[in-house]
Chains A and B, each alone.
Chain A
């Protein structure tokens, strides 16, 4: 069991380095100039800057990215939360077969995104992590993405029960599998800054999400 996990992590780490699904923005080849996060002045930049970042700057004490489980995206690729480092993120937990709250939760997130200026919207990702470790296969998540017309800024993840529990604990999300196979859960939107630290949480559905949008916008430097 343990060896499997280790092997999986190694495999995943390898895959992450080889083909990072969510490159930090400073790693994008199209970036017009290196952002301040890359600080290439001191060195001739022999390696891609995101690798350097990972190697040289440890995560902050309050970074959720210390949670280093390997998730699987709806594309079937391994993803670590730390690969989201560098730009603000809105995280929510959900499950794809949810009949009531989750469609509303997604709608709330879409409303919050609609309030963002285009340049902010192009940087701030939404991460949806499923509670449902059994039914929400990558295929089920892909179907969810199609159904709600979620573009590439939306990251859909599934993980092990332990990884889901850990993330829920870190976010303060409550959840419980009920007798009908539905998850009762908190409806909580969490805004993370570029370092993966919680800067804002919004509880409830169909509420005023403008504060969520403001908090996200405040995390993107004006150019």
Chain B
């Protein structure tokens, strides 16, 4: 895991008094003192503190624990927009549509933009950027001194409800999460931040676009959905035999299925991303 120490430090600036504490401890203390989602210093940078929690993988090997501890981290409250990604490709020409190496992004990369440096009607400035590869998403995050969230971090944030930590217990959360899966994505996506925020203050996790995570390639299902044939035991070593653990969390299954089907150069019309930062 890359830790961008200077940036992490600057994210901590509002809490100079706490800087003598180890980072995670300071953040935990801050989290305890402030209402969730109201960490002022990060808010300016579009980041929200997600307090320490757990991730319960829907797919896991026989010997894997039911819960994975997730340390406190900072997550962008909204997915990255077309306007923000445009600024990035202005700055880094090798990620422009006409220049990107096919090794790092399939044909179709930013295909809905009007041009290399022109968004056009299908890509409103405030809509989430989509049709970006994992490589491009990660390069964007790195340019910002951030990183992509891990699967555990992303799922831990998305498992929180509108009112409490366990979204699965809230009928409204279940309705929203399942409702989005039942609808096709519109050709022109709505603006980021347009969806109701989680209890931590994170928008659009359930019902805007799919999102890249840093370690999407850790999701292994029985028989790759990419067309490989043969028995799972021959495809994967050891604990690759991930079995379903919680059949009630359908959206999380869908996300796991989505991740297992991806490759890092793929671009998808409703797959975007947001960045994270270790405190």
Contacts and interface: CB of A to CB of B under 8 A. Distances in A.
A99 B238 CA distance: 9
A61 B102 contact: yes
21 contacts: A1-B5, A100-B237, A100-B238, A161-B1, A169-B217, A169-B263, A170-B264, A172-B263, A172-B264, A174-B219, A174-B240, A174-B260, A178-B63, A179-B64, A180-B63, A180-B238, A184-B220, A186-B224, A203-B228, A204-B235, A205-B235
Contacts of A100: 237-238
Interface in B105-163: 134-135
Contacts of B134: 169
Contacts of A174: 217-220, 236, 240, 260
A62 B103 contact: yes
Could you say which of A101, A173, A174 has the most chain B C-beta atoms within 10 Å of its C-beta? A174
Contact of A169 (B135, B226, B236): B135
Could you say which of A62, A102, A172, A180 has the most chain B C-beta atoms within 10 Å of its C-beta? A172
B218 A169 contact: no
A61 to B, nearest CB: 5
A117 B103 CA distance: 31
A101 B238 contact: yes
Contacts of B35: none
A102 B228 CA distance: 19
Contacts, number: 102
A176 B217 CA distance: 8
Interface of A: 1, 61-64, 66, 98-102, 161-162, 165, 168-170, 172-176, 178-180, 182-187, 203-207
Given A61-B101, A174-B219, A203-B228, A183 B237 contact: yes
A147 B167 CA distance: 52
Contacts of B215: 165, 176
A143 to B, nearest CB: 19
Could you say which of B61, B220, B237 has the most chain A C-beta atoms within 10 Å of its C-beta? B237
A207 B240 contact: no
Contacts of A178: 61, 63-64, 238-239
Given A66-B101, A161-B1, A204-B234, A175 B217 contact: yes
A174 B242 CA distance: 13
B135 A184 contact: no
B171 interface: no
B248 to A, nearest CB: 24
Contact of B236 (A62, A102, A180, A187): A187
Nearest to A201: B228
Given A178-B61, A187-B234, A203 B2 contact: no
B231 to A, nearest CB: 8
A183 B224 contact: no
